[in-house]
Amino acid sequence: MDTLDLARWQFAITTVYHFFFVPVTLSLVAITAGLQTAWYRTGKDKYLRLTKFYGKLFLINIAMGVVTGLVQEFQFGMNWSAYSRFVGDVFGAPLALEGLLAFFFESTFIGLWIFGWDRLPKRIHLACIWMVVLGTQLSAYFILAANSWMQNPVGFRINAERGRAELTDIGAVLTNKVVLVTYPHTIFAAFVVGGSFVAGVAIWHLVRRPGVDVAAFRTALRLGAVIVLVAGAGVALSGDQQGKVMTEVQPMKMAAAEALYETEKPAALSLFTIGSLDGSREIYSVKIPYLLSFLGTGHFDGEVRGINSLQQAYEELYGPGSYNPNIPLTYWTFRLMIGVGMASVGIAAWLLWATRRGRAPDRRLVWLALPLPLLPLAANAFGWIFTETGRQPWLVFGLLPTSAGVSPSTSMTEVLISMIGFLVLYGVLAVVEVKLMLRTIRGGLAGTSPEPDTPDDPGEAAKPLSFTY
């Protein structure tokens, strides 16, 4: 372990942790806004109660998303100052856009939404949560544009004198073909998480408390399940597009995803492989012929380049060294991302079928309440681990190796202190947040009465789900 390793672990851990809250927040705010709109349009009590219930769960999540996001911005400068010096001219612009356009929007309108229930006209209050939705979407786009630039740098030139990359075309950075496919993929994946969460909570209530708020939770269950199915299809389609773009801009990542060592034409898709520990030898595998060619190139007999030939090409281009990412890691996270994600879509479809035409859900279905939201959440994390480790050994693909980005003046002790600090803090916060979520979920819709609570009855109805502090 040296400073570089620690800084990498720190980035990996804090980013994956941060990303547990991001997809839940992104999708739950939109679902909450949809529910509130349904209430505004129909006036039905159940929509208001669902809005408040899921809105509260959204707020618990975004609190964690926001504070762990702070760490991300500081971390670039603290642990990766050489990277910041090299890319700031380009990479900083989407970050500044994210702050100025998205974060101000989110934070301001969330405050108005939380505290504005009885202060703002209904219409304006509804508009506030849609503003938050817009803010979260913009935020996702700009941060993905920044990340996509690291995957596929465009719109820049190298200034040798200053030893850095300089922006030449902001439009190119914001319309990078990688961000154009990554944004929909990430958003759809987030909605699989959010839909699963809404459906998972609803099925738990329907089974554990039959008779309490059945109508409202039936609506939530079916809404959540439909969102999962639609978003699941979106994930698959956008993922396919992303695979093609990646095969073009980072062929090594896709070769590593398949553990394809030799160039094949046509190439078969590996479903499952057990290899030697270093990943270089195959012991047992299941393959579908032609499929990889089709997925990567759009033609059934297209050529897919293997790791060995790419390694050779990169050595000629960038000099001697290894240009392989961690192959077992990329291979398995790629499969887990797809497999685990598809499993959640399957569960959602089953729940939808099991509760068709007013059928009461079977008691045994409660066992699906927990894995349903957790599986897509894990799939999201696997997806990020895959795409970020698949870019290695590059920090900015083809421009800056990861080892060159770390802060030269930062000592190992400093990184170690912050690493231990974050681990302890994040561990404690995880326990607090999960307990609070479970508590709120168990509380159900009770207390989310539609009428403003009367001042002479502040004890019971007003407090449990109030939106003030």
Partner 1 sequence: MELTTVWFAIIAFFWIGYFVLEGFDFGVGILLRVLGRDEPERRAVITTIGPVWDGNEVWLIVAGAMTFAAFPEWYATLFSGFYLPLFAVLVSLILRGVALEYRGKRDDLPWRDRMDTLIAIGSLLPALLWGIVFANLVRGLPIDASHEFTGTLGTLLNPFALFGGVAFTMLFVAHGAIFLALKTTGELRARANRTASATGLIAAVLVVGFLACAHGLRGDTESVAVAGAAAVALVAALVANKLGREGWAFAGTALAVGLGVASLFVAMFPAVMPSTLDPAWSLTVTNAASSAYTLKVLTVIAAIFTPLVMLYQGWTYWVFRQRVRVETVTVP
CA angle, residues 202, 113, 429, in degrees to nearest 5: 60
Among 15, 27, 51, 79, binds partner 1 (CB under 8 A): 79
- Tell me how far apart the alpha carbons of residues 6 and 15 are, in angstroms, rounded to a whole number: 14
Smallest distance from the beta carbon of 328 to partner 1, in angstroms? 33
Does 297 interact with partner 1 (rule: CB under 8 A)?
A: no
Using CB under 8 A as the binding criterion, the count of chain residues that bind partner 1 stands at: 79
Nearer to partner 1, 319 or 408 (CB): 408
Tokens 């959010």 correspond to 194
Q: Helix, strand, or coil here: 159?
A: strand
Q: Helix, strand, or coil here: 435?
A: helix
Among 1, 119, 283, 319, binds partner 1 (CB under 8 A): 119
8-state DSSP, 402: G
Window 83-112: residues binding partner 1 (CB under 8 A): 84-85, 87-93, 95-101, 103-104, 107-112
Smallest distance from the beta carbon of 381 to partner 1, in angstroms? 20
Contacts of 314 (CB under 8 A, 6+ apart): 252, 323
Q: Yes or no: say if 299 and 247 are a contact pair by the CB < 8 Å rule.
A: no
Cross-strand pairs, 288: 269
The two counts, helices (H) then strands (E), for the chain are: 14, 6
Among 43, 122, 158, 168, binds partner 1 (CB under 8 A): 168
Among 41, 42, 43, 73, binds partner 1 (CB under 8 A): 73
Among 5, 41, 43, 77, binds partner 1 (CB under 8 A): 77
Does 302 interact with partner 1 (rule: CB under 8 A)?
A: no
End-to-end CA separation in angstroms for the chain: 44
- Tell me how far apart the alpha carbons of residues 32 and 29 are, in angstroms, rounded to a whole number: 5
Q: Yes or no: say if 142 and 151 are a contact pair by the CB < 8 Å rule.
A: no
Smallest distance from the beta carbon of 86 to partner 1, in angstroms? 8
Find, among 170, 199, 269, the residue nearest to 50 by Cα: 199
Smallest distance from the beta carbon of 173 to partner 1, in angstroms? 10
Among 158, 288, 425, 434, binds partner 1 (CB under 8 A): 425
Length of the chain: 469
Among 26, 33, 64, 400, binds partner 1 (CB under 8 A): 64
Does 450 interact with partner 1 (rule: CB under 8 A)?
A: no
Among 26, 60, 348, 369, binds partner 1 (CB under 8 A): 60
- Tell me how far apart the alpha carbons of residues 467 and 440 are, in angstroms, rounded to a whole number: 13
Does 467 interact with partner 1 (rule: CB under 8 A)?
A: yes
Smallest distance from the beta carbon of 433 to partner 1, in angstroms? 8
Nearer to partner 1, 174 or 221 (CB): 174
Does 153 interact with partner 1 (rule: CB under 8 A)?
A: no
